[in-house]
């Protein structure tokens, strides 16, 4: 008996406490008001339950047993209303709710009549247990079973509909579980009301857990705050128990011991709640940050796409006038428009050289934007690399080498080997151009040697550019194939125009040909060797484009955000 009395009072106190807490938080919100109301009905029920069990007078016990059932009348409709408001169905189901309230109010005037509670009688360990009148049976079927079943039905329906909203589904799960435990707990009181003694109302114990409060906390204060509410509830229950123990102290010793325990627990609860609050705050901040990061990521992606698009358009627009400049200046140099004086010729060569560089730069930009958007197209065809390289070297010899005083440029092609390969000739030409152009750019004097040879057995072709230029350290070797990477500060003194894109684009092109590209140098000032290795046979472009890499990166970010 004592057990039931204590449980009832604890439930009454905690319900009142939560009703006040929730209403203080936001009394304008409908679901808060409904929660407050049903918590108060619950408190009325549990409070009267405790008092009724304390009675040893028939009249008083009958009065309080009727009072507790008055509280019980309101619980089903208020919970149904509350759940529908959380599921955002309360407007749609207004008529149904009105009917529900009307039915509920029909019971109220009869709650103190024998139609509702017939009598009280001793049963099980209880001296005065209420006996159900016929209206009470109707209440059980219509309100308790009917309203709660409807609430469960709506929860299942909304749960199924929210398959793409994991948070909502989780909330409904808690709501469902909480209500289920509460309904079963409450129902264990009924058998005794029909004189069936085999089931004792131990389900009352479930009520003290008040899982619905947790559910509410989850729904209203989001998932993290459940910890705070749970800690507060746990502490509150323990404090109430300790307080009751303190009041029941029988001797001075007990009194002192109980007060020390209670004081220590109060201090402990304070620290506990404080630390949980802090943790929740940190998590909320992290969640906020993750959200901002996600938004920034989306914005950046959009910006990146816009940038790539802009570069494509701008580069295409730039290409046509430059082609015209290049074409006309080379025709002038060749004498197509008459004889050109020697001094003008020298300047024309410079024009041609600069236009060439500009063209390379624009190509690099265009390629970069295509690579980044995963839109680089390859046109593989049988190409004689020997012929291609001879042409490129001739062009460089006529234009570039003459500019450099002390550079000797040589080309060595292994005689007997076969250099026919399946490549995108424009793109491979761009790679070779880039490597030779770099070798000239970064060499003040000495040589630029170009070698082409093949390994017929393994079907691989090797292209090499060796120079006696500025060379590079090991650390530089590892970095130069990254985009917008130029080695060291002093590179700007040697050559001011570069952007650090050529080698990145070359690497992407060679990757798409299933080939390899690498750089070697004995150190700064000791020249460099750039090598390209290409397979001769049919090439299937690799299946990871930078676009896919980007998406992979995005996935990783999403996973990270989900984790925190």
In the complex, least distance from residue 553 CB atom to ligand ADP, rounded to whole angstroms? 23
Residue with tokens 């390629």: 367
Residue 492, both tokens = 């700007």
Is the CB of 262 or the CB of 491 nearer to ligand ADP?
491
> Which CB, 500 or 541, lies closer to ligand ADP?
500
CB 487, min distance to ligand ADP, A: 3
Nearest approach in angstroms of CB 471 to ligand ADP is: 6
Q: Using CB atoms within 10 Å of the CB of residue 372, give its burial: 0 to 12 exposed, 13 to 18 middle, 19+ buried.
A: buried
Three-class secondary structure of residue 564 per DSSP: coil
Tokens coding 315: 């580069």
Q: Say whether 489 sits in a helix, a strand or coil.
A: coil
Distance CA 559, CA 49 (A): 51
- Of 21 and 494, which CB lies nearer to ligand ADP in the complex structure? 494
**47 near 94, Cβ under 8 Å?**
no
Dihedral angle, C-alpha 123, 129, 131, 132, nearest 10 °: -120
Residue 189 or 476 having the CB closest to ligand ADP: 476
3-state secondary structure of 43: helix
> Which sign, positive or negative, has the C-alpha torsion 9, 12, 16, 17?
positive
Token pair of 145 as six digits: 């079973």
Which of residues 59 and 489 has its CB atom nearest to ligand ADP in the complex?
489
**Closest-approach residue to ligand ADP (CB):** 498
Sheet with 445-455: list strands edge to edge.
Answer: 406-413, 445-455, 460-467, 528-535, 516-521
Q: How far is the CB of 160 from ligand ADP (least distance, A)?
A: 56
Taking a C-beta distance cutoff of 8 angstroms, is the pair 503, 480 a contact? yes
Distance of CA 119 to the CA centre of its chain: 60
Spatial distance between the Cα atoms of 35 and 40, rounded to a whole number of angstroms: 9
Q: Give whole-number Cα distances, 537 to 413, 460, 462, 506, 553, in Å.
A: 20, 8, 14, 20, 32
Residue 486 Cβ, how far from ligand ADP at the closest point, in Å?
3
Q: Whole-number minimum distance, CB 522 to ligand ADP, in Å?
A: 12
Q: How far is the CB of 491 from ligand ADP (least distance, A)?
A: 4
Sign of CA dihedral 307, 313, 315, 318: negative
Three-class SS of 169-218: HHHHHHHHHHHHHHHHHHHCCHHHHCCCCCCCCCCHHHHHHCHHHHHHHH
Residues near ligand ADP (CB under 6 A) are: 434, 438-439, 442, 467, 469-472, 480, 485-487, 491, 498-504, 528
Indicate the Cα dihedral angle 489, 490, 491, 494, nearest 10°: 150
Our CB check for ligand ADP shows the closer of 38 and 530 to be 530
Rounded-to-integer distance, Cα 271 and Cα 266, Å: 9
Complex with ligand ADP: residue 84 or 501, whichever CB lies closer = 501
Q: Which is nearer to ligand ADP, 121 or 426 (CB)?
A: 426
Cβ distance to ligand ADP smaller for residue 191 or 500: 500
| Least distance CB 546 / ligand ADP (angstroms) | 16
Smallest separation, CB 375 to ligand ADP (Å): 21
| Least distance between ligand ADP and beta carbon 355 (Å) | 16
| Rg of the chain over all Cα atoms, to the nearest angstrom | 42
User: Cβ of residue 287: shortest distance to ligand ADP, in angstroms?
Assistant: 41
Least spacing, CB of residue 495 vs ligand ADP, in Å: 7
The DSSP 8-state label assigned to residue 251 in this structure reads S
Alpha carbon dihedral 131, 134, 137, 139, in 10-degree steps, equals -110
């Amino acid at each position: 008996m004592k057990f039931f009395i204590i449980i009832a009072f604890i439930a009454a106190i905690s319900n009142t406490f939560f009703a006040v807490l929730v209403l203080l938080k936001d009394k304008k919100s409908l679901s808060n008001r409904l929660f407050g109301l049903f918590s108060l009905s619950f408190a009325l029920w549990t409070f009267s339950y405790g008092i009724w069990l304390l009675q040893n007078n028939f009249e008083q016990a009958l009065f309080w047993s009727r009072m507790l059932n008055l509280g019980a009348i309101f619980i089903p409709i208020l919970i149904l209303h509350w759940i529908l408001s959380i599921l955002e169905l309360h407007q749609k189901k207004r008529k149904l709710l009105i009917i529900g309230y009307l039915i509920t109010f029909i019971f109220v005037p009869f709650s103190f009549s024998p139609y509702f509670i017939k009598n009280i009688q001793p049963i099980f360990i209880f001296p005065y247990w209420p006996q159900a009148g016929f209206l009470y049976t109707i209440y059980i079927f219509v309100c308790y079973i009917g309203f709660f079943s409807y609430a469960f039905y709506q929860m299942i329906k909304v749960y199924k509909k929210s398959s793409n909203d994991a948070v909502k589904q989780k909330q409904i799960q808690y709501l469902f579980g909480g209500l289920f435990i509460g309904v079963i707990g409450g129902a264990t009181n009924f058998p005794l009301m029909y004189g069936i003694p085999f089931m004792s109302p131990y389900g009352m114990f479930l009520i003290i857990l008040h899982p619905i409060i947790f559910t509410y906390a989850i729904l209203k204060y989001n998932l993290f705050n459940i910890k705070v509410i749970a800690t507060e509830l746990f502490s509150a229950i323990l404090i109430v128990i300790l307080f009751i123990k303190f009041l029941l102290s029988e001797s001075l010793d007990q009194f002192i011991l109980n007060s020390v325990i209670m004081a220590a627990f109060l201090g402990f609860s304070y620290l506990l709640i404080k630390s949980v609050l802090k943790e929740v705050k940190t998590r909320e901040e992290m969640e906020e940050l993750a959200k901002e990061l996600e938004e920034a990521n989306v914005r950046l992606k959009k910006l990146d796409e816009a940038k790539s698009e802009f570069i494509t358009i701008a580069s295409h627009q730039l290409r046509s006038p430059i082609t015209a400049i290049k074409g006309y200046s080379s025709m002038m140099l060749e004498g197509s428009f008459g004889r050109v004086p020697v001094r003008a010729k020298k300047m024309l060569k410079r024009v041609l050289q600069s236009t060439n560089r500009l063209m390379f730069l624009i190509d690099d930009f265009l390629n970069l934007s295509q690579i980044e958007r995963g839109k680089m197209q390859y046109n593989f065809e049988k190409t004689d690399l020997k012929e291609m390289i001879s042409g490129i070297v001739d062009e460089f010899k006529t234009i570039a080498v003459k500019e450099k005083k002390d550079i000797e440029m040589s080309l060595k092609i292994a005689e007997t080997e076969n250099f026919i390969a399946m490549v995108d000739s424009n793109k491979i030409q761009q790679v070779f151009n880039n490597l030779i152009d770099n070798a000239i750019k970064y060499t003040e004097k000495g040589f630029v040697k170009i070698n082409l040879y093949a390994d017929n057995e393994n079907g691989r072709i090797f292209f090499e550019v060796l120079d006696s230029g500025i060379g590079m350290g090991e650390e530089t070797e590892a970095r130069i194939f990254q985009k917008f990477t130029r080695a060291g500060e002093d590179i700007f003194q040697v050559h001011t125009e570069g952007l650090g894109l050529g080698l990145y684009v070359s690497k992407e092109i060679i990757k798409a040909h299933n080939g390899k590209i690498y750089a070697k140098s004995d150190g700064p000032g000791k020249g460099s060797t750039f090598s390209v290795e290409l397979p001769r046979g049919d090439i299937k472009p690799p299946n990871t484009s930078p676009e896919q890499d980007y998406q992979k990166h995005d996935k990783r970010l999403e996973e990270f955000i989900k984790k925190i």
